[in-house]
Amino acid sequence: MMYEENRFGAGFGSIASIGSILSSEPFPEVPSSKTGPYGKRRGPAGTAEIEMGAERNEDAGHPRQKALGASKPDRRSGKIRNASDTKRGRMKIWRKQEGITMMELVIVAVIIGVMSALAVPSFLNYSSKMEAKGAARDIVSTLRQARSKAISERVKYGVYFDAGNRRYTFFKEKSGNEQYDSGVDSLISQITLDRDVNYGGNTFTSTTVVFKTDGSASSSGDMQILPASGGFTYNINVLASTGRIKLTD
């Protein structure tokens, strides 16, 4: 009996010693891999986010924060600045955006006036030149049409140039004198030149060019068409032997 008691006593003693060891040297805590922002461990149901929200609410409700106003980040430096600084910055920007002065308006008006004074005459000269070119082309077209009809219809056709009235007449020749007779010849068309276009020199032997049935013309010569502003001339040439019509500038 005594041996058994000693054995049980020794057993209880060893158990007590093991318990003391366990109580004096606890197991090291295993670090969790799930850590939240700033090293905080996430608790159940996102307690870390709740704690951070609470901290933000506490900072926003601080009397100093209320006095300074809501903070805003500076885009250039990345620093936090309060609303009062932002308002002051806006006021500075608004002050820099000033209106146009009277002197600036006068300068712009003078520049526009000078440019207009230089551009308008050039535009008018160009427009007059284009009108003269168009008139010369129309005359050449009429002469070629008269020659073509004389060949195809075997009847003489002619063009009469009236420099005094600034017009030309396309007619079918019936009198036989190779001149335009308003009461005898058949009028086909009569065209008046534009006011910006004038007749120039005329070296034809007659004011009328009549095309014969073989395509030849009654006379050779040159006629100039020029703009009213001058400075440029379009020349129309007719060769009597062949009836060739040519426009040069």
Inside any domain, residue 219: yes
Q: Which residues pair with 206 in a beta bridge?
A: none
pTM confidence score: 0.54
pLDDT at 96: 55
Cβ atoms of 227 and 132 within 8 Å: the answer is yes
Number of C-beta neighbours around residue 89 at 10 A? 12
Inside any domain, residue 217: yes
Q: For residue range 1-52, what is the model confidence (pLDDT) as tens digits?
A: 444 444 444 444 444 444 444 444 454 554 444 444 444 444 444 444 444 4
Q: ∠206-164-239 over CA atoms, to 5°? A: 30
Tell me how long the chain is: 249
Inside any domain, residue 158: yes
Q: For residue range 180-230, what is the model confidence (pLDDT) as tens digits?
A: 988 889 999 999 998 889 888 888 888 899 999 999 999 899 999 988 877
Query: Cα(139)–Cα(209) distance, rounded to whole angstroms?
Result: 12
Per-residue pLDDT at 57 exceeds 90: no
Q: How confident is the model at residue 89 (pLDDT cuts 50, 70, 90)?
A: low
Which regions of the chain does DSSP assign to beta strands (E)?
A: 71-73, 80-82, 157-162, 167-172, 186-192, 197-202, 208-211, 221-227, 234-239, 244-248
Inside any domain, residue 69: no
Inside any domain, residue 133: yes
Domain housing 211: 118-248
Maximum C-alpha span of the chain = 175
Report how far Cα 22 is from the mean position of its chain's Cα atoms.
86
Inside any domain, residue 135: yes
Name the residue among 170, 166, 228 with its Cα closest to residue 192: 166
Inside any domain, residue 213: yes
At 137, which CATH number?
Answer: 3.55.40.10
How many structural domains are present in the chain?
Answer: 1
Please say whether the dihedral angle defined by the alpha carbons of residues 186, 189, 195 and 197, taken in this order, is positive or negative.
negative
pLDDT at 95: 53
Mean pLDDT of the chain: 73
Inside any domain, residue 146: yes
pLDDT at 72: 52
Strands 167-172 and 186-192: antiparallel
